[in-house]
């Protein structure tokens, strides 16, 4: 019973990683850059919800929409100001610029909100659901163990599935999605075919950042401590998840994210909470050494 | 031949800059015209310079992106601090103990670099980056749960807590998990730091200049072409990676012996630190040893010089970083700059010289 609870928690955390990883994987596929600032967009999104709901007193759905809009705009602006001038420059230069943007976002948040932990109000208002319960008699007393799913977990998992399906359909069925695929294959050829490369890259950043806002809300609903550094570790882990599943692949991000979440929660529960991160990274290394392109890498030429 | 001489002259200039900077700073200290804050920064400055030089060996000369450099620094720091704590009072002249600590830090970091390099150097580009990042985090995490104590029966080892070491009453805990090592003798000085920078430079520059160095750079420029002329790729990749890790270990030794209590926190040995070192390298110019040294100095001093702006300093720091990257690297900005500089007679000559140097390697 406890194992199943851990498993559900793992899948829930993994779904958040998967949503963040999607942003990474799409941006990587199309712009061939590691967007280190992606994790910090999560944090900005969560703070937006916090400010609009707790400080301005707006209703929760308005705050959520506001957060998604703000993150989308942020993604587009960051791409246009910081990354676009560097297109064609060495990938290391772009990487360092992304790190600079990440520091910038962290420090803006630090300046506005301070380093103290802010307690985030959950965006989900669903009571925990009891899936199963069993009774055991211990020392003459009946102990009821229940397998419950929190509302947050449920919403997280469902949103992850919806986003995955939506994104796959978008990429495969719409013109804009096909343009994204084309640009990720070959920028020059795409341009010759009349695709607006800059607009397509902007669109990718916009989608990635909007997903980051969603991931931020879900993450902070489950783990309500919000600081300016909230985004950085999940960001790194989501990137690990993207690499784990095969970078550039949408199903890969899902598989990588969920596996990573499960491994993290289970090793926290059964091995050592301090070593959980080390175990997550160790698994990644083993996977990459055995199969250097990740679980779903390359075979599926589905680069976004 | 002319190019070799030119290169040697360049190297001598690099050594000269370090010695000159050292003499100036010593003079400033002697006349008391340096703030105590800046004085406290001198040893960390040496540490960062050493780390920048050593990472440049991996990133600039070998051409592989590593995001786990702080991990090797961590290994060097902890192995040497462990040794120093153990032998304080046993091995007596301080300089001898510190020298041995240096060797231990160097060797241990080198061994770890070798062991990590073996499986992961097959990976390329961003995959290698993420794996080295992962290794850096693993090293930090393991040290945070490591407990080592010593008593009359020998060395005890645990990964749970200090009580499970089962030490005798007289035994002492040396590595205390997340609390790290306390009471490391403070042996690092600015003079030692400068000497270590010179040693690091000597090792790095000579490696680059040697036959091995040319093989390593051939791998950077084109792996397949290098392999086809009979260069043993694995060997040279491992060589550069191991030397780079070992030198990072030296930086770690210097770092550890400058602090009273050594802890592995995300701030000093996490990926943030690795990224910081990478920023030095990239900003100073990938493959340009002197440039990375200068970048390390500027970027270490910048937050301190901006201290008057208190809360805004890290904000300005990040803005400066982004602006410098765009000005330095953006193709558009590059063309504009070259056009502007080619009009000035001094730079025109210089541009021709470096152009000639590039062709020959």
How many interchain CB pairs under 8 A, A with B? 128
CA distance linking residue B233 with residue A290, whole number of Å: 20
Residue ranges covered by each domain of chain B: 40-290
Alpha-carbon torsion (B145, B149, B154, B156), positive or negative: negative
Q: Give residue A41's pLDDT.
A: 94
CA distance linking residue B358 with residue B361, whole number of Å: 5
Please state the length of chain B: 361
Please state the length of chain A: 304
Considering only residues B58 and A31, tell me which one the structure prediction assigns the higher pLDDT: B58
Query: Residue B180 burial (CB < 10 Å; 0-12/13-18/19+)?
Result: buried
Gap from B58 CA to chain A (nearest CA, Å): 13
Average pLDDT, chain A: 87
- Strand stretches in B252-293, DSSP E: 261-262
Q: Which of B130, B115, B266, B110 is nearest to A283 (CA)?
A: B130
Q: Give residue B310's pLDDT.
A: 63
Q: Is A96 left (phi over 0), alpha (psi -120 to 50) or beta?
A: alpha
Q: What percent of chain A is modeled with pLDDT above 70? A: 97
Are β-strands B172-176 and B147-151 bridged in parallel, bridged antiparallel, or unpaired?
antiparallel
Q: Tell me if chain A has a CB within 8 Å of the CB of B161.
A: no
Considering only residues A222 and A205, tell me which one the structure prediction assigns the higher pLDDT: A205
Contact state of B328 with A93 under an 8 Å Cβ cutoff: yes
Q: Give residue B354's pLDDT.
A: 53
Gap from B142 CA to chain A (nearest CA, Å): 7
Contacts of B178 in chain A (CB under 8 A): 274
Q: Give residue A295's pLDDT.
A: 78
Q: Tell me if chain A has a CB within 8 Å of the CB of B32.
A: no
Query: Hey, which residues does A132 pair with through a beta bridge?
Result: A147
Gap from B329 CA to chain A (nearest CA, Å): 6
Q: Tell me if chain A has a CB within 8 Å of the CB of B328.
A: yes
CA distance linking residue A219 with residue A163, whole number of Å: 15
CA distance linking residue A304 with residue B154, whole number of Å: 58
* Residues contacting B245, CB < 8 A, separation 6+: B54, B72, B109, B110, B112, B113, B114, B116, B117
ipTM of the complex model: 0.82
Residue ranges in chain B whose pLDDT is less than 70? 1-4, 125, 162, 168-170, 307-310, 345-361
CA distance linking residue A270 with residue A20, whole number of Å: 26
Q: Which of B143, B158, B152 is nearest to B172 (CA)?
A: B152
Q: Give residue A132's pLDDT.
A: 75
Touching A: B residues 246-265, CB under 8 Å: none
Place of tokens 């995959």: B127
Gap from A94 CA to chain B (nearest CA, Å): 8
* Residues contacting A157, CB < 8 A, separation 6+: A11, A12, A15
Architecture of domain B40-290: Orthogonal Bundle (1.10)
Query: Residue B30 burial (CB < 10 Å; 0-12/13-18/19+)?
Result: exposed
Contact state of A91 with B330 under an 8 Å Cβ cutoff: no
């Amino acid at each position: 019973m406890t194992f199943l609870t851990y498993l559900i928690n793992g899948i829930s955390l993994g779904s958040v990683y998967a949503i963040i990883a999607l942003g990474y994987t799409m941006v990587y596929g199309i712009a061939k850059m590691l967007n280190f600032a992606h994790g910090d967009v999560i944090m900005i999104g969560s703070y937006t919800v916090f400010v609009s709901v707790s400080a301005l007193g707006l209703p929760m759905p308005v705050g959520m929409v506001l957060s998604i809009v703000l993150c989308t705009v942020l993604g587009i602006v960051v791409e246009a100001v910081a990354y676009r001038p560097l297109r064609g420059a060495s990938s290391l230069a772009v990487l360092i610029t992304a790190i600079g943007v990440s520091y910038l976002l962290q420090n803006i948040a630090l300046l506005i909100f301070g380093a103290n932990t802010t307690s985030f109000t959950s965006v989900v208002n669903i009571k925990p659901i009891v899936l199963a319960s069993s009774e055991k008699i211990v020392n003459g007393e009946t102990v009821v163990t229940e397998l419950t799913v929190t509302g947050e977990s449920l919403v997280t998992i469902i949103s992850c599935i919806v986003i995955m399906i939506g994104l796959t359909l978008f990429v495969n069925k719409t013109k804009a999605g096909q343009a994204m695929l084309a640009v990720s294959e070959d920028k020059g050829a795409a341009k010759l075919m009349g695709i607006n490369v800059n607009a397509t890259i902007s669109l990718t950043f916009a989608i990635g950042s909007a997903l980051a806002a969603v991931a931020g809300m879900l993450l902070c609903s489950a783990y309500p401590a919000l600081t300016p550094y909230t985004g950085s570790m999940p960001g790194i882990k989501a990137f690990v998840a993207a690499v784990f599943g095969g970078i550039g692949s949408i199903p890969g991000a899902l598989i990588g994210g969920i596996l990573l979440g499960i491994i993290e929660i289970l090793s926290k529960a059964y091995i050592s909470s301090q070593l959980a991160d080390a175990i997550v990274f160790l698994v990644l290394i083993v996977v990459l050494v055995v199969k250097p392109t990740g679980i779903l890498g390359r075979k599926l030429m589905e680069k976004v | 031949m002319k190019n070799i001489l030119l290169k040697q002259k360049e190297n001598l200039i690099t050594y000269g800059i370090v010695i000159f900077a050292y003499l100036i700073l010593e003079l400033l200290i002697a006349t008391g015209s340096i703030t105590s804050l800046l004085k406290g920064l001198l040893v960390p400055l040496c540490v960062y310079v050493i780390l920048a030089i050593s990472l440049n060996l991996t990133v600039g000369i070998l051409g592989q992106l590593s995001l786990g450099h702080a991990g090797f620094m961590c290994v060097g720091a902890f192995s040497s601090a462990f040794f120093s704590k153990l032998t304080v009072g046993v091995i007596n002249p301080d300089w001898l103990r510190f020298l041995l600590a240096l060797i231990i830090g160097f060797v241990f970091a080198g061994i770890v670099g070798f062991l990590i390099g073996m499986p992961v150097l097959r990976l390329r580009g961003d995959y290698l980056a993420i794996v080295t990042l992962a290794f850096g985090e693993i090293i930090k995490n393991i040290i945070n749960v490591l407990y080592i104590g010593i008593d009359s029966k020998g060395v005890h080892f645990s990964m749970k807590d200090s009580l499970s070491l089962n030490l005798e009453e007289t035994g002492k805990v040396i590595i205390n998990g997340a609390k790290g090592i306390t009471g490391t003798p403070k042996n690092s000085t600015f003079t030692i730091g400068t000497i270590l920078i010179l040693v690091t430079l000597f090792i790095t520059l000579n490696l680059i200049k040697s036959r091995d160095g040319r093989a390593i750079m051939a791998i950077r420029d084109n792996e397949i072409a290098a392999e086809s002329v009979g260069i043993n790729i694995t060997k040279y990749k491992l060589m550069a990676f191991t030397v780079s890790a070992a030198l990072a270990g030296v930086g770690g030794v210097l770092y550890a012996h400058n602090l009273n209590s050594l802890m592995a926190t995300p701030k000093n040995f996490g990926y943030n630190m690795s990224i910081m070192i990478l920023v030095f390298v990239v900003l100073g110019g990938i493959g340009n040893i002197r440039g990375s040294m200068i970048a390390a100095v500027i970027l270490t001093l910048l937050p301190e010089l901006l201290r008057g702006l208190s809360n805004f300093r890290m904000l300005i720091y990040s803005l400066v970083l982004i602006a410098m990257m765009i000005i330095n690297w953006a193709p558009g900005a590059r063309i504009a700059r070259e056009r502007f500089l080619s009009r000035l007679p001094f730079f025109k000559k210089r541009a021709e010289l470096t152009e000639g140097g590039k062709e020959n390697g």
